Amino acid sequence: MALHLDNTTQQNVNQWLSGAYDAETKSQIQQLIDQEDQVTLTDSFYKSLEFGTGGMRGEMGVGCNRMNRYTVGAATQGFANYLLTVLGNQKIKVAIAHDSRNNSPEFCRIAADIFTANGIEVYLFPALRPTPQLSFAVRHLGCHAGIVITASHNPKEYNGYKAYWSDGSQVVAPHDKNIVAEVNAILSVDDIKFQGNDALLHLLDDQIDQEYLKTIQANCRQPEVIQRQKDLKIVFSPIHGTGITLVPKALALLGFTSVHVVQEQAEPNGNFPTVIYPNPEEKEAMTLALEQAKALDADLVIATDPDADRVGAAVKSPSGEWQLLNGNQMASLILYYLLKVDKKLGRLTGKEFVAKTIVTTDLIDKMCAQQGVPCYNTLTGFKYIAQVIRELEGKEKFIGGGEESYGYLIGDAVRDKDAVASCAMIAELTAYAKDQGKSLFDFLAEMYIENNFYYEGLISLTKKGKAGAEEIKQMMINLRSNVPASVAGSKPVKVLDYEGLQSTDLTTGQVSPIVEGRGIEASNVIQLILADGSKVSARPSGTEPKIKFYVSVNAPLASAADFDATFSSLQAKVKTIQEDLGLK
């Protein structure tokens, strides 16, 4: 069969075949043409891989819609151009790190060469390191920006590029859109300066590891408890990623002596040979760790994703079965422990705060209110939590926070979710529970008995193509214009519409503004608050053809013995809400 490519795809193919691209790249393109592989050619060339407000992510391969030396090059040249425009004649410094994915070291070095070719000093991690350490390094070294080559927990075919600003946070307005504009202005491979200047390249040594680990040690609240429970049995898996470089060291530094690494997943490997998805949210990715925990009769299971910004954990139930904790449960447990212990130690002075996203459990808000600690709610994305930390720096002290998607942060030395620091804190709070003769499951039940059992369900609906995009758009319109009279037997009492930044009291009809700032800006998100305290949040994904509904319900928990029955009841209620709203 003959190839039939649309005009844009054909033009892009022709540009890559005739432009200043290397011979191997051109050979691979010609091979696709000779094989008449229309599907791959079209997907690789029908558009340019989008550099969004946080960076970019895509499958690796040849073409303008793939991650390769040229798309990484264009992104880096655009970022460099923006830094040179904004910072002028300053001595500009950038920190760069990478994860364990295939091609990550090469992409990392390409980015370093392009920055130095543009007269920008680069501080480069010579070997893989966690994303949160890059965030730390940007601030610690006084850099103006940073990047990390990673695709987080995406499948092995992917890689990506995250961009950071001088405060160690992923870029936010106005820099985000301005950087995107500069990247989009790179129209030719000839615009990219690939020839690096090694005189401007500084390779980082393990001193930066020690400085970062010191901040994790400083987070520790009760070293004497860890000392008493130092033989706490911890099973840890880095799932073939960067967590292996620092999580065991952090746990050892705190004094834990019985850390068991899952050896089959200890070696960094971009093919992630033991899992389908390298994502600790997936039970399958935790299988080997859970098997080892059963064999050891461990106290705790923890696993980090490839760039070690997210962490999954599992606890042993009274029946002896291991249960995975979701992101809301783990974020709540961390804050429950920190608030409880900080109060006991006299660390709560009235100047502290917590931050989380608007789709993360309201249990955290409730616990903060009980201690008189403000809890700021932000849009989804850790850059918004970092924005709150930045705005309040020097005025209020950040205790910790997180988001439901398994990302947590303790203290403000890092400005992104931090699985290394989180693993250390999860181990500490497990030691604290054991010091009181309790398991982590008992600690979870205790939190629910004190505050109500909060359960959150995520309903993610995939709607592909143009028709799917229209359907998602219509679903949001319907939610805004037709608020149901009753959901699961409870009346909606408030609507929070972040697109128009307004809150409507459905009982009185009063409309009041949602204040912009501190992690809040106009965004296509709607929340329904029900009379019984349940909440439904709707948010179209910005990166995938999906619309997500976050459903939060809660009920009293009389005792740990009622845990399973209450849990089943709450799960059933989430299902009823899903059915009543027609979410399918």
| Tens digit of each residue's pLDDT (9 = 90 or more) over 202-238 | 999 999 999 999 999 999 999 999 999 999 999 999 9
pLDDT number for residue 543: 65
Distance of CA 492 to CAs 210, 420, 460, 525, Å? 52, 40, 22, 16
Catalytic (active site) residue 552: no
Give dist(CA 150, CA 107) in Å, integer.
10
**What tens digit of pLDDT does each residue of 442-475 get?**
999 999 999 999 999 999 999 988 888 899 999 9
Tell which residue, 128, 130, 28, has the closest CA to residue 70.
28
Per-residue pLDDT tens for 542-564?
A: 767 899 999 999 999 999 999 99
User: How does DSSP classify residue 200?
Assistant: G
pTM: 0.96
> 312 pLDDT exceeds 60?
yes
Helix or strand (DSSP H, E) at 73: helix 69-87
Q: Is the pLDDT of residue 255 over 80?
A: yes
- Per-residue pLDDT band at 437 (split at 50, 70, 90): very high
Task: Give me the sheet containing 375-378, strands edge to edge.
Answer: 375-378, 352-357, 397-403, 407-410
Do 102 and 160 form a contact (C-beta atoms < 8 A)? no
Residue 1 predicted with pLDDT over 80 = no
188 backbone dihedrals φ, ψ, rounded to 5°: -140, 150
- Strand, coil or helix: 232: coil
- Euclidean distance between the first and the last CA atom of the chain, given in angstroms as a whole number: 39
Asked whether residue 406 carries a pLDDT value surpassing 90, the answer given is yes
User: Residue 3's pLDDT is what?
Assistant: 81
272: left (phi over 0), alpha (psi -120 to 50) or beta: left
What's the mean pLDDT in 292-315? 97
- 158, 490, 538, 554, 581 from 573: Cα distances, Å: 37, 11, 17, 9, 12
Distances (CA, A) of 577 to 490, 551, 572: 10, 8, 9
The token duo for 75 is: 């992104």
User: Is the pLDDT confidence value at 258 over 90?
Assistant: yes
Q: Which listed residue (44, 100, 104, 152) is catalytic?
A: 152
Please tell me the number of Cα atoms within 13 Å of 301 on its side-chain side.
Answer: 31
